[in-house]
Structure 1
Amino acid sequence: MIYVQDKRLLLPDGRTLAYADNGNTSSLNVVLFLHGPFSVGDASRLSLVLQSKMAHLVCPSLPGWGLSSPIEDPSQYAASIVNDIRALLYHLHPQHTNLKLHICAHSFGCVAAQILYGAPYDIFPYGRCITGLALLDPVSPPHCHKDYWKHLSWQNYFLTGPPSRLFPFNFTTILAKYALENKLQSVDKAENSIVRRNLLPMPTGADETEEIAQWKEQNAVSDAQYERAVIRNAVYSVALTWKGFLALPQIYHSGWGGYCPDHLDEEHSRPLVSVIVYNDNSGHAYAGMGSWLVGKHKNATLQVIEGSSLSWLLCLDNIWKNVFS
């Protein structure tokens, strides 16, 4: 079966939302996973925990990535993403009264996740169904977190930090696009280029290498299967358009529909927020943003995982357990 953005939903505004889903489609336990840059909606692997919970895993491709139509005006990202996800959930689960919605997001997908978490219930009625929010390597809202730029990696500093606001005509992202475009024309090219090292960070040590090997064996994943899937999704993500990538700085600085975690009312603050970051001993950017988010949310926890970003492989089942707990 193919679970990589294999379905399409025609949205009310005429755009298309690509998505993949897996598991029990009639379950009241719904897990909405929102991907980061250079990825698409992929539900090809259903965690053992999600299987045991009879959950319905829903993975949309965010606007401008993969086969999902872009948003023409990035300043309206908040309103658009709320409308898109509301339409998707209504399409899959029209009777939302008893739904238990678990939102999990990675990296830049955390922008959309936090917008949904704080959206007014009259425009996003599924917000009342949210039981938990898991943010993996999250980004914080720059309109609330004034020192956000201090916690950015150098690549993200130029893509979404102050330089992206100073240089006209979206110069930094256009420059990055030209640097990456040729390398992401095919899976074979991406596998044999420097892009591979950026998409697939190396383990931090022999212990993590061994743990990853054990995880692959336990989950019947061949040595190259996981790596090739990540690279394949990166190629898919920009095969149709680069508008999702080019809009990153505008979306990040779009105001998120007024979302600020410390301005949420009691009802919006009820679902637990799990902030999960990794520590590879290099002063990783997300740790500072994660700490800030936990300090601003009324109901949040912080978990630091030792190792590289590949450590998600080793603890993903534990993350799902925390989401459902």
Structure 2
Amino acid sequence: MSADNSSGERYLDLPGGRTLAYAETGNISSKTVVLYLHGAFTIGDASKPSPVLLSKDIHFISPTLPGWGNTSPPPPSTSYNDCLTSDMSALLTHHYPDSNIHDIKLYIAGGSFGTVPAQILYGAPYDIFPFGHCVSGVLLMDPISPFRYHKDYAKCMTWSNYFMTGPVAYYMPFNLMVRLMKFVLARKVATVEGAGAFLRETLFDRMDQAERETFARWWEARGRALGETERMMAENIVKSVSKSWVGLMLMSHVLHSDWGFRPDELDEEHSRPHVLLMAGKDDHLAPVAYAQYLAANYKNAEIKYVDGGHLAILYHIDEVWAEFLANEQ
């Protein structure tokens, strides 16, 4: 294992010459673990955790997903599911090599696209992901439903999502639509300044006045300078595609693929952990219909809404973590 002391990023060597990048904070010896899986165009980041997490005896781990940032893409002929479960098993085994797996209390959380790998881990067979035995709760923020089974998933998509991850992207040969989108986006996010403009265009400029005021109060309460959050997000966008664009190229396939289970057919043992779904009422990237589908199909799920769009949960994050962990502990 190695680390980049300047960024706080750590690297775990994996079989086949692959590397898993991750960040962590909190009590790294604690056996209460929050495994947070990030969304698209970012990396695993533990630099600005919620104070709620730091106030508890928790080991917070945020890995970078396959094909993003400094984490290697899946090996040839290896499915995304198998790569993900293998990587996360290796990461947790690295931190808890001598522990009885049942002594670990694992909470799996994800945001936006990260809710997909979070669900894959949640529903994975225990012989493939042994740490599934110790999952105590699942938090899905701005969740995405499995397109393979949610037949109406495309009806609430924006046009940009329809072409990037919807039917056009999935069925067009040779991933041509995604390759075209990559060509366009590569110019926009080549620099931190360009990535910042891309963020404003896709997220911040879509806020109404009420949401802008809520966002301003949030960063003021956390002692952040104006624009600090946007710049940090822009820097992570640039880092996420600095090595390759494989993460983006895989997204449409992963969203449409078999995640290894149907939400409505999970067995009782897998359905034991509580699933908390948090959705922004006006989210145009992860529409509430996705969360509603999951709430109707997972046996032990609860859905809650916050006012605002795709970033709304960010400035309710302390309340979200507090409620989630209070319910599960």
Following the alignment from structure 2 to structure 1, what is the Cα–Cα distance between the partners of residues 238 and 8? 13
Letter in 1 for 2:268: E
Q: Indicate whether 1:85 and 2:88 are aligned.
A: yes
Instruction: Say which is worse superposed, 144-153 or 50-59, in terms of deviation.
Output: 144-153
Which residue is equivalent to 2:278? 276
TM-score by structure 1 length? Answer: 0.93
SS in 1 for 2:287: helix
Query: How big is each residue's C-alpha offset from its partner over 1:32-72, in whole Å with a ceiling of 9 and x where there is no partner?
Result: 11011100000001211111112111011100000000114
Q: Indicate whether 1:264 and 2:269 are aligned.
A: no
Query: How big is each residue's C-alpha offset from its partner over 1:118-177, in whole Å with a ceiling of 9 and x where there is no partner?
Result: 111122111111111111111111222222222322222112211123321101110100
Letter in 1 for 2:48: R
Following the alignment from structure 1 to structure 2, what is the Cα–Cα distance between the partners of residues 106 and 3? 25
* Alignment length (residue pairs): 321
Following the alignment from structure 2 to structure 1, what is the Cα–Cα distance between the partners of residues 7 and 151? 37
Structure 1, unaligned runs of 5 or more: none
TM-score by structure 2 length? Answer: 0.92
Which residue is equivalent to 1:234? 237
Distance change in 2, residues 1:5/1:61 (3 Å): farther
SS in 1 for 2:243: coil
Following the alignment from structure 1 to structure 2, what is the Cα–Cα distance between the partners of residues 178 and 5? 30
Which residue is equivalent to 1:180? 185
Residue 252 of structure 1, CA deviation: 1.8
Residue 203 of structure 1, CA deviation: 2.8
Residue 188 of structure 1, CA deviation: 2.4
Residue 74 of structure 1, CA deviation: 7.8
Distance change in 2, residues 1:264/1:13 (3 Å): farther
Following the alignment from structure 1 to structure 2, what is the Cα–Cα distance between the partners of residues 118 and 179? 35
Distance change in 2, residues 1:320/1:107 (3 Å): same
SS in 2 for 1:259: coil
Which residue is equivalent to 1:248? 251
Which residue is equivalent to 2:42? 39
Which residue is equivalent to 1:219? 222
Q: What is the root-mean-square deviation in Å for CA atoms of aligned residues?
A: 2.0
Which residue is equivalent to 2:293? 292
Tell whether the 8 Å contact from 2:203 to 2:311 is kept in structure 1 after alignment.
no
Letter in 2 for 1:265: D
Following the alignment from structure 1 to structure 2, what is the Cα–Cα distance between the partners of residues 209 and 165? 35
Structure 1 vs Structure 2: percent identity of aligned residues? 42
Q: Indicate whether 1:146 and 2:151 are aligned.
A: yes
SS in 2 for 1:277: strand
Residue 323 of structure 1, CA deviation: 2.1
Following the alignment from structure 1 to structure 2, what is the Cα–Cα distance between the partners of residues 4 and 201? 29
Residue 2 of structure 1, CA deviation: 6.1
Query: How big is each residue's C-alpha offset from its partner over 1:201-229, in whole Å with a ceiling of 9 and x where there is no partner?
Result: 54322x33333222222212111111100
Which residue is equivalent to 2:164? 159
Distance change in 2, residues 1:264/1:284 (3 Å): same
Structure 2, unaligned runs of 5 or more: none
Which residue is equivalent to 1:315? 316
Letter in 2 for 1:290: A
